[in-house]
Structure 1
């Protein structure tokens, strides 16, 4: 570690990943400013400087940054080329390192085992594409990565996280399973327990981001946590929640016949499927650079402590779950 206290700008910063990054920076004594549109709840400490702006408006939306310099910038809210080009060009000569939080969804061959940083990427989306959908999300991030690399060169760091888990998660993908196990009773478990789930604890991502800034580390890094079988994961969720819930394994063919897919069963990706590699992401490069992993049991416990008092997204409804389980028993 350098020991130097940094002045860091975070683009975003009030929600989930950004919030954890801000908290990790503050914990190490760094100064933080966040640039947001001011549309979402803000529970950050008062020591954080709030700036208001909107990159969707291009350079005009970044007036709050004029005349300011920072040691580094962390971009957690760049989803479209228009947004990222505006901030990258505005900050080119006014920040040292630019850390862009991307995604493992940029990879073209998502059935590879394992997926590594040098694997082929999806074709880029055009720079005028602004609609973020399941189809455009990955290609848009590929374009954003290219823009950051072109503008900042060796001063760019690209982080490609797995599914991110932990407290404050608005997506509910990981949280659904911990909460469902906590609720007890028989529950639908996808596959036969031999598929894999792999997530990255948001706090591990945040600590690695701080390390990148403190040590001025360039490059591209996958950020993925321990790879667990679904049977291991659900047993761990039982231990974390003290639940006696019972998993009823329903194979892929039956789920398909019942019309139950990934929208109802978040984070489940069949290991042998076209996207199976997304649950086999190598974080070897990041670990060599200092990434550490929270014990998966701790991630599950802490997520449940937060989610127990926080309304969550509904995926597979209790009624639909009961319907599918009843059909499997009849079969």
Structure 2
């Protein structure tokens, strides 16, 4: 299969390039050259800006599959889809579960209403509606050749967001670990390598339609997740999880999802993002690995990063210790 990735140097795109190359596919990535990364020797690179006419030069070749990991808004996605339409077989657009209008309810399926664009300067409030509009642009131009995939939280090596890396490094460091909310609270996530493999599977099966893409396939909780991390990362003896309830965390001004990744208070309007329906993806062959291997591999990758780097999210040690002291735990 001749594959073009729009993006390809960061996180999911990089995993797609590596997975497809290892499977024997002919892989080309199109990017601006601003995020250099090591790639397999047989992966080709084309440089350009997809928001300009540069993207039209890609239509000089025939592509069996285009995977769009970098499209954010309908104008950019529409430009690529129009330019490439005569030259492609299938177009997989990587969207997000943030497209749904009501994220407060569990078991959100693919036919749920989508968020509409409203005037706002808040970037996070525009992200889901823009992605939803971008899905529409791809479908309008490519019809059934457009496959829409809506991932939940993507985790694993190469993650620039630190949302899972925070927990891998924090649990490995050990000691008194602040754990948010109830241990029985459901969580969902997908290893980027599982998502990469499955996107290629969709293309090989010529699957069309829209799919939520998260996991694990067997429901998991925050308690199970963190206990697994402790079991596989071998922190110092005496490491303990201390569960702090939503009310105390909110009263302390902790920012859900950012300061404590994977934590959404149970009063949140977004709690459904951690309980989405994935039956359609399961039927289309989605499989997910044991999160223990994701913990091990993420921790190993994180160990190669500069020790003085700034983290994108997570509690700094002093803030965590102060919170535990304030609720009388340590």
Asked if these proteins are the same fold (TM beyond 0.5), I'd say yes
Given candidates 191, 200, 215, the residue that maps to 1:210 is 200
* Structure 1 residue aligned with 2:132: 142
- The residue aligned with 1:253 is 247
1:75 corresponds, among 68, 71, 77, to: 68
Aligned residues: 321
- Structure 1, unmatched stretches of 5+, are 1-5
Q: Which residue of 1 aligns with 2:292?
A: 297
Moved segments of 4+, more than 6 Å: none
Q: Verify the 8 A CA contact 2:59 2:87 in the aligned structure 1.
A: no
- Per mean C-alpha deviation after superposition, the further-off stretch among 61-70 and 157-166 is 61-70
| Residue of structure 2 equivalent to 1:3 | none
Q: Give the structure 1 partner of residue 232 of structure 2.
A: 240
CA distance in 1, matches of 2:110, 2:267: 21
* Mapping for residues 250-289 of structure 1, pairs under 5 Å: 250-262=244-256, 263-289=258-284
Q: Which of 220, 224, 231 is the aligned partner of 2:223?
A: 231
Alpha-carbon displacement from aligned partner over 1:147-196 (angstroms, at most 9, x marks no partner):
00111111010000010001110101011112111101001111131222
Which residue of the other structure, out of 88, 91, 95, is the alignment partner of 1:102? 95
Contact kept, 8 Å, 1:125 with 1:142, in 2: the verdict is: no
Q: CA RMSD in A?
A: 1.8
Mapped contact 1:196–1:270 kept (Cα < 8 A) = no
Give the secondary structure class of the aligned counterpart of 2:190: strand
Q: For residue 282 of structure 1, report the CA deviation from its aligned partner.
A: 1.6
Which of 48, 57, 69 is equivalent to 1:53? 48
1:220 is matched with 210
Supply the distance in 2 between the matched residues of 1:330 and 1:165 (Cα, whole angstroms): 30
Q: Which moved more, 1:97-106 or 1:279-288?
A: 279-288
- Residue deviations 1:198-238 (CA, integer Å, cap 9, x gap): 10111110111111111111010111112321111110010
Check whether the contact 2:246–2:266 (CA below 8 A) recurs between aligned residues: no
Q: Separation in 1 of the partners of 2:80 and 2:56?
A: 11
Q: 2:78 aligns with which of 60, 85, 110?
A: 85
Is the Cα–Cα contact under 8 Å of residues 100 and 112 in structure 2 kept in the other structure? Answer: yes
C-alpha separation between the residues in 1 aligned to 2:28 and 2:76?
Answer: 18
- Deviation at 1:272? 4.9
| Cα distance between partner residues in 2 of 1:315 and 1:66 | 42
Equivalent pair of 2:16/2:196 in contact (CA under 8 Å): yes
User: Structure 2: any 5+ residue segments left out of the alignment?
Assistant: none
When normalised by structure 1's length, the TM-score is 0.92
- Normalising by the residue count of structure 2, what TM-score does the alignment of the two structures yield? 0.93
Structure-1 residue corresponding to 2:39: 44
Aligned equivalents of 2:260 and 2:108: distance in 1?
23
